[in-house]
Structure 1
Amino acid sequence: MRSVLQLRTPEVAGNNDQRSGLTSSTPHPDASRAEAPPKLRFKDPQIEMSHGAGGKASRRLVEGLFAPLLLSSDSSERLADAAHIEIGGAIVAFTTDSFVVHPLRFPGGSIGELAVNGTVNDLAVSGAKAHSMVVTFVLEEGLASSVLEAEVRAMADALKRAGVTMVGGDTKVVERGKADGMYITTAGIGSPIHGVHVDAKTVRPGDKVLLSGPIGDHGITILLARADLDFEANLNSDTRSVLPMIEAMAAHAAPGIRWMRDPTRGGLATSLNELARDCSLSIELNEEEIPMRDEVRGACELLGLDPLHIANEGQFLAIVSPEFADIALNAIQLTAGGEEARIIGQIRKEPANTVVVNTRYGGTRIVDMLVGDPLPRIC
């Protein structure tokens, strides 16, 4: 969700300067009326793996602890992956992300490539095109230099494909056994895509739900790469930049784009439940229309997982007004990698704050956001 903030540069005041009311020896006039500390709703006794899985526990952490303390008291926005910030009259898009995937390399990608694609995608679904990034590597003592070189090369290749420049960074080394080899943190800046305004508050009944391609590839690939399972699958992570598809859609249907999200941790179910709550509407999905590979479906059935909760790293969801839905879908399908895009559902008025799925067998079921952490450390 886009958050537009006005940044103001604080003025430097001398002893007799009344512009800010602050001097070196005089207390602030409102010091005796300091704000009461915000009431926190985060009551979990300790941090668990589920707090990083993108589901209900993650939301409790963000909304119950981070948002009350870190958001300004006059802000009605919630903390999100990316924000559009006004600086000196110009709008700049900004995002940050950390990558702790295990294993570092997996079929179809690796942590270095994932770090670039994930940052580009967070900006893209906020309605912005990435231009520059900075990166921090947290390296574990004993990591083979050949492993590090491979990830830096993977990152360089992904940057080139995305047309993004790396402009700075930092490196830290921690003791052996403290970082699973390597953690990567990125921050990216970009500029808004012309005509696109992404806001859950603009979503209306009748709007269509678009999905750019098959779900679950990344999460199941990671699971199979790290688990000793008797399950063979010709499956690769879907990690990629979704920006080309979003730019193509925007070129033809920008006025109709209401909201976008890349359904990473927690999958489609969590992303759409967050939207349903933010817009106070219902989202109806048609299970038969949701593209999914047989390998993903089979693995989920074998392991008792809901594919709607499985992470993706190269797909995006979009809510588009009905008059632009077919135009937007056609634009995505004509873009390389978007051939399997589908309209998978629509927005309803009731039941509010709920995601409902029409199943392949003629019934309906309510799908909640992810509870627990069936697949932690995936991105």
Structure 2
Amino acid sequence: MMDRILISHGNGGKDTQYILQKYIFSKLPENLKKTENGVGLDYPDDGAVIGEIIISTDSHTIDPYFFPGGSIGKLAVSGTINDVVMMGGRPIAILDSIVVAEGFPLDDLDKITSDMISILKEHNISLIGGDFKVIPSNSMKGIVINTVGIGLSKNPIIDRVREGDSIIVTGPIGVHGAVMAALQYGIDTKLKSDVKPLIKLLDVFEKFQGDIHAARDATRGGLAATLNEWAQLSGKMINVYEKDIPIPDEVKSITDVTGLDPLVLANEGVAVLSVSSDKAEQIVEELKKLGFEPSIIGKVIEPKNKDNKGLVIITTEVGGAKILEMPSGDIVPRIC
């Protein structure tokens, strides 16, 4: 019988769901899962809604904490900004809490905090509070950053996919996870992490208000976790087409060597959208104007067989079909 936390419990997939449900969600009465007229743990999303306020929190740990294309500082701020954006919120402020191990190099701390503040300056987002702690070196190594993001939205996006929706990804998937896997397995690669804020998506959300039914940045657990969560929450079936999923060749090369599935790898600069099918092509064109590389990869279906509710099905390139399961077990440790 399992009586200890495993690394897989933090992978954002089935094992994480188990921990959250058993040790947190199940202990809360329904009235304490949200504020009055708000949205919270009663309907898990990228964050919570309190009136017109969007709030999200995330903790970030990654090894190594500097990587091609970014650092844990860029990752922490971008990730929290994106969680607010995915709920339709315009980020206005963050708070941070930084925990470092005794002996942590001050030059590294300087670079990490500079990366954080650089993004805040670029997007005019205030840092309004935080905390700093040092842990004895025999208790932890490296650095952990927690961030809280605050945004405003009069029309928040609560993930509720609808029958007939088209599924869009805003760019190539699996890049960040593949970069981290390459570093950890000692594989040479020219890939750089896709980590970046996705604030430009707010222009699309505002222009197509009412047609964006769900939005998620597919971080831990990747595309597979996002689609499975949507299918489970809605009771619908999601069908995606393997030939339409944009996976860069270099990501495929890394996953072929490591045996990893690109569909479960973290993305740090890609959103997944569920949108009205009659507006999908227009949304794709608008995304391209903003510099994204979008693809329509599938659709939401009301299954005829009730046993198929909550499933994600991949139609393979040769015309077969297979279930895309919620990730479980070890994926790539300490990637976001």
> TM-score scaled by structure 1?
0.82
* Map of 2:159 onto structure 1: 199
1 CA distance for matches of 2:173 and 2:138? Answer: 33
1 CA distance for matches of 2:29 and 2:181? Answer: 35
Q: Is it true that 1:224 corresponds to 2:182 in the alignment?
A: yes
| Number of aligned residues | 325
SS in 2 for 1:254: coil
Deviation at 1:58, TM superposition (A): 0.2
2 CA distance for matches of 1:109 and 1:186? Answer: 17
Mapped contact 1:196–1:257 kept (Cα < 8 A): no
1 CA distance for matches of 2:184 and 2:30? Answer: 41
* Map of 1:163 onto structure 2: 124
Q: Is it true that 1:85 corresponds to 2:50 in the alignment?
A: yes
2 CA distance for matches of 1:197 and 1:111? Answer: 27
Deviation at 1:44, TM superposition (A): 4.7
* Map of 1:30 onto structure 2: none
Mapped contact 2:45–2:159 kept (Cα < 8 A): no
Mapped contact 1:67–1:78 kept (Cα < 8 A): no
Q: Is it true that 1:273 corresponds to 2:228 in the alignment?
A: yes
Deviation at 1:60, TM superposition (A): 0.6
What one-letter code is carried by the residue in structure 1 that aligns with 2:124? G
Q: 1:101 to 1:70 in 2, by over 3 A?
A: farther
* Map of 2:37 onto structure 1: none
Deviation at 1:79, TM superposition (A): 4.1
Gaps (5+ residues) in structure 2? 34-40
Mapped contact 1:333–1:341 kept (Cα < 8 A): yes
Deviation at 1:180, TM superposition (A): 2.4
Deviates more, 1:57-66 or 1:278-287: 57-66
Deviation at 1:197, TM superposition (A): 3.3
What one-letter code is carried by the residue in structure 2 that aligns with 1:255? G
What one-letter code is carried by the residue in structure 2 that aligns with 1:239? V
Deviation at 1:232, TM superposition (A): 2.8
Deviation at 1:179, TM superposition (A): 3.2
What one-letter code is carried by the residue in structure 2 that aligns with 1:237? S
Matched ranges for 1:121-132 at <5 A = 121-132=82-93
SS in 2 for 1:370: coil
1 CA distance for matches of 2:92 and 2:69? Answer: 24
Q: Deviations over 1:40-70 (max 9, x none)?
A: xxx8522111110001110011122211224
Mapped contact 1:196–1:254 kept (Cα < 8 A): no
Q: 1:71 to 1:125 in 2, by over 3 A?
A: farther
Deviation at 1:72, TM superposition (A): 3.7
Matched ranges for 1:1-379 at <5 A = 44-70=2-28, 72-73=30-31, 77-86=42-51, 91-192=52-153, 194-200=154-160, 203-228=161-186, 231-244=187-200, 246-336=201-291, 338=292, 340-350=293-303, 351-379=308-336
Deviation at 1:71, TM superposition (A): 5.2
Structure number with greater CO (CA < 8 Å, separation at least 6) is 2
> TM-score scaled by structure 2?
0.92
Q: Percent identity?
A: 34
What one-letter code is carried by the residue in structure 2 that aligns with 1:82? G
Give the ranges of 4+ consecutive aligned residues of structure 1 lying more than 4 Å apart after TM superposition: 73-76
Deviation at 1:182, TM superposition (A): 1.0
Mapped contact 2:173–2:246 kept (Cα < 8 A): yes
